[in-house]
Amino acid sequence: MHTKGIAHRDIKPENLLLGNDMDLIIADFGSAARFISEENKILEFDSSIIIGSREYNAPEINMNKCYYADKADIFSAAVCLFVMVVGNIPFRTASYSDPYFKLLTKKDKKDYWAIYSSVSISSEFKGNFSLHSFRFFY
């Protein structure tokens, strides 16, 4: 979809389906948009037009900043992965006013992962699930 210049802009578990051969099918393209212009330039989107689901939206969208739709899809997909592994959303909203998001953005994430101490989560997942990996955000 991204290679075709289309961003979904509402990636969340409810829009992810499994086909007969366990192929991932992305559904509900009601918020989708082209993110590459006729001149092959990547477009910025205005976050004042609310799209997607707050729990899965990238920080720029929740903080009313312009955003790149393809990168916002990747952020939403990472939140979906977290939900699949941990069984809960990582934060209520990706903004600094959210205490969980704030903990997750700190260099030392020990306090964040202590919240999930009763859930069996590999250290590899914990190490790789870092908002610092998403350098194109905020």
Active site residues: 10
Distances (CA, A) of 98 to 19, 36, 119, 129: 35, 32, 22, 18
Spatial separation of the C-alpha atoms in residues 65 and 2, rounded to whole Å: 21
Pure H helices in the chain = 59-62, 69-86, 99-105, 110-114, 123-128
> What are the beta bridge partners of residue 33?
7
Strand, coil or helix: 33 = strand
Strand boundaries in 1-138, DSSP class E: 6-7, 16-18, 24-26, 33-34
